[in-house]
Amino acid sequence: MSDATTYVPPKVWTWDVPNGGAFANINRPISGATHDKPLPVGRHPLQLYSQATPNGVKVTVLLEELLALGHAGAEYDAWLIRINNGDQFGSGFVAINPNSKIPALVDHSEPTPVRVFESAAILMYLAEKFGAFLPSARAVRAECLSWLFWQMGSAPYLGGGFGHFYSYAPSKMEYPINRFAMEVKRQLDVLDKHLAKVEYLAGSEYTIADIAVWPWYGALTKGLLYDSGEFLDVQTYTHVRRWTEQIAQRPAVKRGRMVNRIRGDLASQLHERHDASDFDTRTQDKIGAAT
Ligand SMILES: N[C@@H](CCC(=O)N[C@@H](CS)C(=O)NCC(=O)O)C(=O)O
């Protein structure tokens, strides 16, 4: 082991040293708003406040899938919350998500507006509201929810564990990288063995389980997360890669990935989405990189 540490934890932890890692500027040990900032509200029933991280993409993909199925009530405004700038600590955002993390949704079509936070809660809320992508047959529903909650329980080891220590921490430390690389490869193996037997996670039907897992583990097997494709030898997970490619071909997935996206090819970045036509007219290559 190459990085024995001399750190001795004090009796009581105090917040006094910036830790030097990526995002150190936005991490705090307390919750709540840091500044007054009401949220904008557009003309559609659903107002989404988000950024196109894997957790954010889950929701925009589902909304685009619902619209593609003809659910006009799923029309939405997607507002950009720049998490690196601390927008999630504005008073308006904290009022709809006291946990200060994207994504968060407000449904104005109900008699009293309904706020929903936590991406899986948003997926379930929308799937139940529109009766789509969450099967009703008891056994398939159980399978769908099992994989949905598998994702919610597993991805923090991938992002907060592996991704943090492999990519964001101020130095490379063998112990945590080993611990979390082991866990992430175990998770990929769980998925790979399952997807060897079924087309989609819940069986033959594409569901919110696929929509939740794909932005994390699909991106990982494409080498798009933490520049770790070679390190984790992701090409060996052939069944996950088959499923990843299959889902990537869906037009709604292609659109959903673009919404609130602030990185990559300018033609793939639609910072805010207020109308279906925005995909053709409002991407960053068309409106200029200054916004
Ligand atoms: N369990 C939450 C996690 C949400 C989350 O971690 N969001 C990240 C971006 S992917 C975020 O907003 N980070 C900002 C921060 O931690 O201040 C969910 O699934 O919605």
Per residue in 93-116, pLDDT (tens digit) is 999 999 999 999 999 999 999 999
pLDDT in tens, 186-229: 999 999 999 999 999 999 999 999 999 999 999 999 999 999 99
Q: Which residues line ligand 1 (CB under 6 A)?
A: 26, 53, 55, 83, 88, 100-103, 118-119
Ligand 1 centre and the CA of 272: distance in Å? 19
Pocket test of ligand 1: the residue of 23, 55, 85, 216 to mutate, having most ligand atoms within 8 Å of its CB, is: 55
% of the chain at pLDDT higher than 70: 96
Q: How far is 66 from 234, CA to CA, in rounded Å? A: 31
Cβ(73)–Cβ(65) under 8 Å? no
Q: How far is 180 from 157, CA to CA, in rounded Å? A: 7
pTM of full prediction above 0.75: yes
Instruction: Give nearest CA residue, ligand 1 atom 5.
Output: 101
Ligand 1 centre and the CA of 111: distance in Å? 28
Pocket test of ligand 1: the residue of 93, 102, 211, 214 to mutate, having most ligand atoms within 8 Å of its CB, is: 102
- Give residue 111's pLDDT: 96
Listed as ranges, residues in the chain with pLDDT below 50 are none
Q: How far is 129 from 186, CA to CA, in rounded Å? A: 35
Instruction: Give nearest CA residue, ligand 1 atom 12.
Output: 101
